[in-house]
Structures are given as C-alpha cells and as structure tokens.
Chain A
Amino acid sequence: MKRLILLGLLALGAVAVLLPFIWMVSVSLKPQSEIFTASVTLLPRAPTLANYWQAVTQTAIPRYLLNGVIVTGGILALQLLVSVPCAYALAHREFRGRGLLFAAILAALLAPFHVTAIPIFLGLAHLGWLNSYTALILPFTATAFGLFLLRQAFARIPAELIDAARVDGLSEMAIAWRIAFPLAMPTVIAFAIFSVTAHWNDLFWPMIATTDPDLATPPRGILFYRDAESGDEPGPLMAGAVLITAPLVLAFLLSQRRFTQGLANTGLKG
C-alpha cells in the first residue's frame, strides 16, 4: 500500500515534468481551429501533420537543423583534432612544460564561456569574421574539459602498450590516433555527447556572433521564426520546436546510460 502511494506520487511528478513535452507535441498536431479556441484541450481531437508540413516546407527550420549539424559537428571535430594529440602527450610523454600545461588546463576549466565572450567577439569583429560558420565554431576549439577528460582516459592505458607501439616504429601522432584514441572510446563518446548537447542547445554565443538568419543554429533559429510569426502560427512553431528537440531526445532515449553519464559527470562545464 505504501509502495503504491509512493509510485502514485512519483508518477504524478513525472506527468508534471512531461507536461511541456506533451503540450508541445499536442499543439504541433492540432489544426489551427483547435488552437485558437475558447475550449482548449490537452490532446488534439483531429490530429494532423499539416503543421509539420508547413514547418518543413515553408520555414527555414530545415536550414536551422542543418546549421546545427554543421556547427556541432565542426566544433567536435576541431576539438578532437586538437585535443587528442595533446592529451596523449600529457599522459605518455616527458617534455619540458608538461606540468605547466596541465596546470593551465586545470585553470582554464574555471572560466565559463560567458567570461571570454566579449574579447573573442572584439577579436572576430576586428578580423571581419563575425557572421560566419567560423565565428560559431572556431572559439570552441579550446576545450580544457575535453583535454582533461581525454588525458585521464589515456593515462589509464598501460605504458607497456605504448612502448610496444614505439618499438614497432609507429610515429607519436600515429600512436595517439591509432592506439590511444580507440582504446579511450567510451570517454570520447561521453565527451562527444557533452559537446554536441552543449552546442546544439547553446543560445548565448549564436546570439552574439551572428545576426544573419541563414547562419542560425536551432535555438537561435526557432526564436527568429517565433518573432516573425508573432503569435499567428503556434502550430508550425510547436512543430518546429519538436523537430529541434527531437534529435537529442531520441538519442537520449536510445542510449540512456551513456547520455546520463555523459551529461551528469560533465554537466557543470558550459
């Protein structure tokens, strides 16, 4: 009996948490007449996909989604390209300045992106690089968090394994990419989930670095669309919100454990 009450309370809380999701999907499936009515209902009476059709064919939402893929993909690729060799060297090589570099990474962990935004904006403006994919991607190349995570993962690889690869004549760069990188795959995936989620969802930097709607990432784009339709088309707007939220939510539902770990161990860093 006590267990049943507990379950009931938890389920009630879950419904409350789900309400914005249910409402978003529900409105996206409602015909216009069911949205602008005095008798608002939770679920659509005559569900239709017309709003999705309009969102996909008559708005720039597909463009925003594509921008999201380009920007998050570009950021992750650059971050890994720069961080994997460095993290490998930190974990398995002796060199002058290693201690200093590691201390610098720990110090850099303390600075959230908001702190560096103004000078980076000024620098990009000076170079004339604002309003470009470069402006959206390049500043995130430096990831103290990625460097730190990867270094910790690489340090768990036995030194004998690295030495054996050296004896086989592999170059250091080849060891980093062909030995260390695949062995640390679980960490790489956790970092990838963190990075892609953070930048897919980010609004702060896209609002600063771009004014061109053609470059808008999904969150920036949905706001452009909302401000343009100004309350006349809530149906397609909600359909757009569903389309923007869907990729990450689906990925989360498909691999809950990895997602929870990727975000829970890392969520503090923005």
Chain B
Amino acid sequence: MTLRESLSSLLLTGPAALALVLFIFLPVTVVFVLAFTDYQIGASGAGWVGLDNFAQLFGSRLGRNAIFNTLTYVAIVIPASVGLGLLVALGLHGLAGSLPRITNALKAVYFLPVAATLVAMAVSWQMLLHPSLGLVNTWASALGWPAPLWLSDRDLVLYTLAVIGIWQTVGYNMVLFLAGLAAIQPSLYDAAEVDGATGGWSRFWLVTWPMLGPTTLFVLVVTAANAFRVFETVATLTKGGPAFASDTIVYALYREGFVYFKAGYASAITVVFFLALLLLTALQVWVIERRVHYR
C-alpha cells in the first residue's frame, strides 16, 4: 500500500471516523464515568460517589416511580399496538385482492400518525381531550357518560398517554406485518386446505400465525424499544405530572439533567436506560438469527 493510497483512504474516511469518535464513542464513555460522580452542570469540580446515583434511582420513591411508570406504559403499548397492527394488517391483506384502491387508502390512513409530527399531534390530542372545549368529553356527556380529566387525573394520565402511543405506532406495525403476510407462500394455504383446514380460523392458526412468528417477535422488540423511549408526548402534555404520575425514564433524564442540572444523576439514569435498550437489542439479534434459521 503506497503512501498516496493511504492518504486517499484517510481523506475519505477520516471525517466520518472523527465524527463517530467525537459525537458517539467519547460521549458514551463520558456518560459512563459521570454516572459515578456527583457532577452538577456548571460546577467547577465533582466527587466520586460510587454507586450512589444508581442507589438513588432504584431506592428513591421518585426514581422507582419513573421506572414503574415506564414499564407500565410499555406493558400497555406492546400488546395493544402489536395486536391491533396485526388485526389491521390481516384485514387489509384479506381485502387487497378485491378492493386494491380502498385498501391502499386505508393503509395510508393508518400510517399517517407515523409520518406526522408527534408534538403537533399531541397538541391536537390535548384539544381533543380538553375538559370543556374538547370533542371527546362533549360526546361523552351527550351520551350521559362521565367526562374524566384525561390528562390531569393521576390515575388516568398514564393510560391516556399509552392510548396516544398506541395510536401513533399501530400503522408502523401494520406495515411490518403486511410485509410478513406478503412473504407467505400461497401454496402453504393450498396444502393446509388439502389437510382439511378450510375455515378462516384453522387457516390462520395452521399457516398464518406460525409463518408470522419471526415477524411478530421482531415487531414486539421494535415496539418495546420505541415505547421505552417515550418522551415527546410526556414533555408536551404532562411534563411528567400531575404529581409525577406520568414521569418516565427519558423524561426523568431530561428533568434531572437539564432542568435541575444534576449531570451525575442524569448520567446514571442514562446508563440504566442504555443497558435496558442493549438487552432488548440482544434479544432482537437473537430473534433475527432465529428468523434466518427458520427459513
């Protein structure tokens, strides 16, 4: 390899490599170090505190609350978003042959929330759920139903945010499931028919569901990873309130780090968040390998 060629390679790859080090690898290292200090943004020095920040996150009422809320949110969004995504995909897949135009239009509608700006849509949701000016409570009272305070009732707020999260992600899962459905060979259905599976249900359980298995696992992991990062709706609609009832891990990270300037503690939250995501990614890699094996 001549010097000229080496220089040429350096010119091509150098800027990108530098950017990766500067904006990803160095910051990740720093965050792992800061997590063991009591550094405050703006302070001149910092002390080593060992595992104190982690103890605070897992030991304090507030820290545990944020973790518990996030897990609750994830536990609601995953089954609902994946289940609805599958149902919509099955429906659209079944209609695609006879009504291609309508199917395409419906597909676009379901995908719309994925492309739309979530913060602006959250502002619209706020208006929709407004106690006196909103459509939802107007209709509810017209029907004689109770008109709850969707975003300021402590027992309700997390579920309201979960519904918005589901609304936003169903279309994304639908697209993944549609791709999975399109990959199933029609001959499998013929074979199942020969074996006596003629009804819709037996066809589904004998062919569709097992063949979709790898897609389903993949969709589950992706949905979990995205739900885990919930931030925009929290920041827009509740700021974690009322009384921390909708505080989540990424919002807590933002609040502790950039509102209270507790960089050390916020770094510890970041580390926990990162490790949880890495665990999910490991699961995902395992899923993909199984998918390859499956075919």
Contact surface of A with B, Cβ cutoff 8 Å: 3, 6-7, 9-11, 13-14, 17-21, 23-24, 27, 35-36, 40, 42, 81-83, 85-90, 93-96, 101, 104-105, 108, 110-112, 114-123, 125, 138-142, 144, 147, 171-173, 176, 197, 200-201, 203-204, 207-208, 218-219, 222-223, 226, 234, 237-238, 240-242, 244-245, 248-249, 251-253, 256, 259-260, 263-264, 267-268, 270
Contacts and interface: CB of A to CB of B under 8 A. Distances in A.
B172 A226 contact: no
Contacts of B17: 86, 101, 104
B273 to A, nearest CB: 7
B259 to A, nearest CB: 10
A94 B1 CA distance: 9
Given A17-B110, A120-B27, A238-B124, A203 B91 contact: no
Interface of B: 1, 5-6, 8-9, 11-13, 15-17, 19-20, 22-28, 30-31, 34, 41, 84, 88, 91-92, 94-95, 98-99, 102, 104, 106-121, 123-125, 127-128, 133-135, 138, 167, 170-172, 175-176, 179, 222, 225-226, 229, 231-232, 235-236, 250, 253-254, 257-258, 263, 266-267, 270, 273-274, 277-278, 281
Nearest to A241: B120
A60 to B, nearest CB: 15
Of B34, B117, B254, B263, which is in contact with the most chain A CB atoms at under 10 Å from its CB?
A: B117
B24 A122 contact: no
A245 B120 contact: yes
The 5 closest A-B pairs by CB, nearest first: A86-B16, A219-B119, A116-B27, A119-B27, A142-B19
Contacts of B112: 17-18, 21, 249, 252
Given A10-B91, A24-B121, A173-B11, A114 B115 contact: no
B150 to A, nearest CB: 13
A108 B25 contact: yes
Main secondary structure of the interface of B (DSSP, over half): helix
A270 B121 contact: no
A114 B125 contact: no
B110 A234 contact: no
Given A13-B88, A95-B6, A142-B20, A3 B95 contact: yes
Contacts of B229: 112, 114, 270
A40 B34 CA distance: 52
Contacts of A90: 13
A6 B108 contact: no
A64 B8 CA distance: 41
B127 A256 contact: no
A68 B167 CA distance: 25
B49 to A, nearest CB: 16
30 contacts: A17-B109, A24-B127, A40-B135, A42-B135, A89-B9, A95-B1, A101-B17, A112-B229, A115-B270, A116-B24, A116-B28, A118-B266, A119-B30, A120-B23, A121-B257, A125-B41, A141-B19, A201-B117, A201-B118, A204-B235, A204-B254, A207-B254, A218-B119, A238-B123, A240-B120, A245-B116, A249-B112, A256-B108, A267-B114, A267-B222
B20 A10 contact: no
Contacts of A172: 8, 11-12
A27 B121 CA distance: 13
A32 to B, nearest CB: 11
B13 A263 contact: no
Nearest to B26: A119
B147 to A, nearest CB: 12
Contacts of B19: 82, 141-142
Contacts of A93: 8-9, 12
A86 B13 contact: yes
Contacts of A144: 20, 24
Given A42-B135, A118-B257, A10 B88 contact: yes
Contacts of A253: 108
A234 B133 contact: yes
A116 B23 contact: yes
B173 to A, nearest CB: 10
A248 B115 contact: yes
B236 to A, nearest CB: 6
B95 A10 contact: yes
A82 to B, nearest CB: 5
B91 A118 contact: no
Contact of B16 (A9, A82, A96, A197): A82
Contacts of B20: 104-105, 108, 142, 144
A246 to B, nearest CB: 9
